[in-house]
Amino acid sequence: MKTAQRLLSDALIQEKVIEAIGKIFCDREPHAQELLTKALNSETDELARDILDDIIDNAALAREERLPLCQDTGLLVVFARLGVDVRLEICLRDTLEQAAAIAWQKYYMRDSIAPDPLRGQLDECEDIRSESDARLPIVLHLEQVPGDGLSLDLALKGGGAENMSALRMFNPSAKVEEIVEFVVDTVVNAGGRPCPPVIVGVGIGGDFELSAILAKRALFTDSDERGTCYRELEKDILRRINERGRGVMGLAGRNTALEVRILTAPCHIASLPVAVNLDCHAHRHIRVEI
């Protein structure tokens, strides 16, 4: 017997998303705040300690005054898990983009989205504009799952850390040490550009595009969801980054990275893709269950 579908209204989803953005534009994920406090307590370099103090104080001020945690208010990235027994009033992307537009206006957030990625350099593309002031483009990853709920992982992803991403198609015979060196080199060579201390997402396996999605998804996945198989490898990579890295904001200290998170997927026997995606210390992420 077919299960009755649950109707999720456009208004309810928008309400929850706007509320969620209202929490994270001025306040980082609590676990990231704990990691920063831990970093401060372990730091011995005075300059690095001073910067970490400022980062933590800035977060407190942003939260109290409800001001953007960072002037780069980011691009809204959504990982959505939609139950098979859910019925929506309109397309989920439309709902989320409308909610983002409302939130950006409501919370006075800087619009950082360029409708034309080449910024009008091609004459034939001069007419590219936002579809409507009522929508703000987002990045949506949609997965269908059992059940009658909708789970949304929302992140405000800044450009500085995103620009330091890297992907490499390894030979399938590559050793773990080669992969570790690639990840460590990517973070260390980024210097201060991603605003360290950073959280490091690593995607191993899948194919070209899935490895990048895994790396992004890893940033917003807690340790229970990642399992224990790669836990020691995560710790080893973190240790090596902080031994070789340039420290807080690329200036000083031992805390270049706060955490390394790895997600994997099966891959073709002829390839071994590995992707790295960084998130700055702001780490604005929240999960919404509807």
Domains of the chain in sequence order? 159-283 (3.30.1330)
Kindly give, in sequence order, each residue whose CB lies less than 8 Å from that of residue 210, ignoring residues fewer than 6 positions away. 203, 265, 273
Residue 70 DSSP SS3: coil
- pLDDT (tens digit, 9 = 90+) per residue, 131-147? 556 789 999 999 999 99
Residue-level pLDDT at 34: 95
Would you say residue 43 has pLDDT above 60?
A: yes
* CA–CA separation, 249 and 272 (whole Å): 32
pLDDT band at 129 (very low <50, low <70, confident <90, very high): low
What separation in angstroms does the CA of 281 have from each of 27, 85, 203, 285?
Answer: 11, 37, 20, 11
Residue-level pLDDT at 3: 64
Type of residue numbered 105? Q
Taking residue 35's Cβ as centre, other Cβ atoms within 10 Å add up to: 20
Would you say residue 237 has pLDDT above 90?
A: yes
Residue-level pLDDT at 121: 82
Residue-level pLDDT at 115: 81
Residue-level pLDDT at 1: 55
Residue-level pLDDT at 95: 96
- Whose CA is closest to 253, among 74, 39, 11, 38? 39
- pLDDT (tens digit, 9 = 90+) per residue, 203-216? 999 999 999 999 99
User: Is the separation of the CB atoms in 253 and 213 below 8 Å?
Assistant: no
Task: Dig out the tokens for 208 from the structure.
Answer: 């070209």
Taking residue 45's Cβ as centre, other Cβ atoms within 10 Å add up to: 16
Q: Residue 202's Cα: distance from chain center in Å?
A: 12
What phi, psi does 93 have (nearest 5°)? -60, -45
User: Percent of the chain having pLDDT more than 70?
Assistant: 96
Who has greater pLDDT, 18 or 117?
18
pLDDT band at 67 (very low <50, low <70, confident <90, very high): very high
What separation in angstroms does the CA of 7 have from each of 31, 83, 226?
Answer: 33, 11, 31
Residue-level pLDDT at 143: 95
Residue-level pLDDT at 132: 54
51-55, 110-114, 139-143, 152-156, range with the lowest pLDDT:
110-114
* CA–CA separation, 235 and 228 (whole Å): 11
* CA–CA separation, 107 and 84 (whole Å): 33
- pLDDT (tens digit, 9 = 90+) per residue, 29-41? 999 999 999 999 9
Mean pLDDT, rounded, for 146-155: 96
pLDDT band at 123 (very low <50, low <70, confident <90, very high): confident
Which residue matches tokens 């077919």? 2
Who has greater pLDDT, 196 or 131?
196
Residue 166 DSSP SS3: strand
Mean pLDDT, rounded, for 235-248: 96
Task: Dig out the tokens for 219 from the structure.
Answer: 């940033």
* CA–CA separation, 196 and 254 (whole Å): 11
Who has greater pLDDT, 125 or 238?
238
Kindly give, in sequence order, each residue whose CB lies less than 8 Å from that of residue 92, ignoring residues fewer than 6 positions away. 13, 80, 82, 140, 142
* CA–CA separation, 140 and 81 (whole Å): 11
Residue-level pLDDT at 227: 79
Task: Dig out the tokens for 77 from the structure.
Answer: 């990235």
Residue-level pLDDT at 5: 87
